[in-house]
Structure 1
Amino acid sequence: MSTLRTINELIAGSVGGAAQVLVGQPLDTVKTRAQIAPKGMFKGPMDILMQTIRKEGFFALYKGMASPLLGVAGVNSLLFAAYGASKRIISPFPLSLPEIALAGSMAGAVNAVLASPVEMFKVRMQGQYGAESDKRLRVIAREMWLEWGFRKGVMRGYWVTVAKEIPAYAGFYSAYEFSKRKFAAKYGEQNIPVWALLASGSTGGLAYWLACYPLDVVKSRIQLRETPPTGTPVQYIARELGAVVAEGGLAGLFRGLTPSLLRSIPAAASTFAAYELTREWLVKTTGI
């Protein structure tokens, strides 16, 4: 029974993840470019959006989508399955919000295993600005593997991804559950409207970015660099944080936050709505 429940969570997570990528990719591209672009290249998020469309065409906003879309089944399936398993490990009874946050942080740590390479390839695709020398995803993947290998190439930025995902998903799931429980108290657990699931997902998405954004800036910069970081994870994360502050002050740690928050509303809403609706259908179909 537990195996079938996990399979249902894997399937529903895949559907939710695909919805997230399709809805949120354009603003994710704006966010990443705000984080990694050379100083003075863009005036702000709107300038990034307009320059990208004008110079590279509208579909450049979906640059790097192949990586998360190809990997989204694994990443989101792992996330939702790990979250479900974490909840069962913590307690067989309904969890409190602090316990939900703990389960979310556990799921985030597990999720980093797949999220790190998916993010790394996406960031390196988004860090190209329409020049003739721009590379396709398969070329970038081959070069990273051949030049740096698995740990320093494909998994570059893994430890900062772990550091980011733990607080991010603690905030994500606890905010989502808080909002969902408020709606459940009003409408009943089985009668929560779709718009309420969308609103709860949006709340979770906002909490996700507010909990981890400076570390996401560090992650993007590390993953884009020509060479891998040196030293221990604590050392190179601290070093990169210092470099960001030196270049742009404390505000540099939040470059691209606005498009991230704007993206999180439709992206997280669609993720959870798609997940919950798919999960509900699977429960009715399988009985578990």
Structure 2
Amino acid sequence: MSSDFWAGYISGAIGIIIGNPLDLVKTRLQAGSSVPTSIRTTQNIRSQFDSATSLVRGAAAPILGYGALNAILFVAYNRTLMTLAPSVTDPTNPEGVPLSQIWLAGAVGGLASWVISSPTELVKCRAQLSSHQSISSWTITKDILRRHGARGLYLGGAVTSIRDSVGYGFYFWSYELCKRFMSTKDETSSQAAIKILLCGGIAGIVTWASIFPLDVIKTRLQAQGSPIQVSPTNQPLLRPTASEGRVLNALGITKEAYRAEGIRVFYRGLGICSLRAFIVNAVQWATYEWIMKTLNQDSLMTT
């Protein structure tokens, strides 16, 4: 495997481990009435973190899936960027490349990663909205496959693909823009490390701010039929959560949410998401660039 694959995989898995507790809160704030009553209040959400296992609820699927997603994302981004700008030899330092090409390469990378992100997001979302701690990501996955087949794992796939493409376009664009703005001559290694952390964190915030309404719609769409109990029989683990038991599409979800709560519903949880995004992406970018440099140096030494 290439160095950017492993750098992307490891940094993605680390990001999920760090950011999962705040992601749990963000998902429940976005889901609104789709969350079971027993965990809907702030007090009960806080109580979910009383045990060590609650800190990683719903993280099993993302740790496996998001590592692969991040690997595909960075590989697709790097290859697309080098196709658009053949002069680029080091995708981690694309000096002189127009920012529009960087955005396009990021959008292509995001679209490529959708194959993994859509089912991963669905399973994670339903695990996080469960009121029963014993429901695992694997249990949810098996139930979806049993009832709907492989196609069921791509509920909300269209919204997720748009979210990923637009979001990752801004992700790489804002990261590179920030790096160029903060670059100085003769910077020390510590200054370079701080720059990567700050730029990674800022890129995470910009990304989520650009696509947060889409993410709210995606969460509410996937929350329809979220798991509420573990059944010892063959009874379904899922229940409809749309109004009057109907399963709504993305447009229906949007109309219903706006009619019930107004425009602010599409930005609920943005604050906690921005905090998570800064921390996670600062660490992810620092990890990614460090692994890339380490692996590339090892490769040069062996040749």
Aligned to 1:197: 196
| CA displacement at 1:89 relative to structure 2 | 1.9
Looking at structure 2, the residues matched to 187 and 242 of structure 1 have their Cα atoms a distance apart, in angstroms, of 54
| CA displacement at 1:55 relative to structure 2 | 5.2
Aligned to 2:294: 281
Looking at structure 2, the residues matched to 70 and 108 of structure 1 have their Cα atoms a distance apart, in angstroms, of 17
| Aligned counterpart in structure 2 of residue 236 of structure 1, from 249, 272, 275 | 249
Q: Deviations over 1:76-104 (max 9, x none)?
A: 10011011011012121342111111111
| Aligned counterpart in structure 2 of residue 266 of structure 1, from 279, 283, 287 | 279
- The aligned runs of 1:1-288 (5 Å cut-off) are 7-38=2-33, 48=42, 50-54=43-47, 57-59=50-52, 60-93=54-87, 94-130=96-132, 135-151=135-151, 153-187=152-186, 193-226=192-225, 236-287=249-300
- Secondary structure of 2:254's counterpart equals helix
Looking at structure 2, the residues matched to 106 and 190 of structure 1 have their Cα atoms a distance apart, in angstroms, of 32
**2:175 and 2:203 in contact (8 A); partners too:** yes
| CA displacement at 1:250 relative to structure 2 | 0.2
* Structure 1 residues 262 and 191: alpha-carbon distance in aligned structure 2, compared to 1, 3 A threshold: closer
- Secondary structure of 1:95's counterpart equals coil
* Structure 1 residues 40 and 33: alpha-carbon distance in aligned structure 2, compared to 1, 3 A threshold: closer
- Secondary structure of 2:213's counterpart equals helix
Aligned to 1:232: none
| CA displacement at 1:56 relative to structure 2 | 6.1
- Secondary structure of 1:38's counterpart equals helix
**1:222 and 1:228 in contact (8 A); partners too:** no
Which runs of no fewer than 5 residues in structure 2 stay unpaired?
88-95, 226-239, 243-247
TM-score, normalised via structure 1 length: 0.86
**2:36 and 2:129 in contact (8 A); partners too:** no
Looking at structure 2, the residues matched to 277 and 181 of structure 1 have their Cα atoms a distance apart, in angstroms, of 19
* Structure 1 residues 28 and 40: alpha-carbon distance in aligned structure 2, compared to 1, 3 A threshold: closer
* Structure 1 residues 52 and 180: alpha-carbon distance in aligned structure 2, compared to 1, 3 A threshold: same
Segment of structure 1 superposing worse, 235-244 or 192-201: 235-244
**1:53 and 1:61 in contact (8 A); partners too:** no
Q: Deviations over 1:149-181 (max 9, x none)?
A: 111x11222111111111111111111001112
TM-score, normalised via structure 2 length: 0.82
**1:56 and 1:129 in contact (8 A); partners too:** no
Q: Deviations over 1:183-232 (max 9, x none)?
A: 33444598852111000101110111011001101111111212699xxx
* Structure 1 residues 223 and 41: alpha-carbon distance in aligned structure 2, compared to 1, 3 A threshold: closer
The one-letter amino acid paired with 2:253 is: E
Looking at structure 2, the residues matched to 61 and 190 of structure 1 have their Cα atoms a distance apart, in angstroms, of 34
**1:52 and 1:58 in contact (8 A); partners too:** no
Overall identity of the aligned pairs, in %: 27
Greater C-alpha radius of gyration: 2
- Secondary structure of 1:220's counterpart equals helix
* Structure 1 residues 122 and 271: alpha-carbon distance in aligned structure 2, compared to 1, 3 A threshold: same
RMSD after superposition: 2.6
The one-letter amino acid paired with 2:260 is: E
The one-letter amino acid paired with 1:145 is: L
The one-letter amino acid paired with 2:137 is: L
Looking at structure 1, the residues matched to 15 and 250 of structure 2 have their Cα atoms a distance apart, in angstroms, of 28
Q: How many residues align?
A: 271
The one-letter amino acid paired with 1:71 is: G
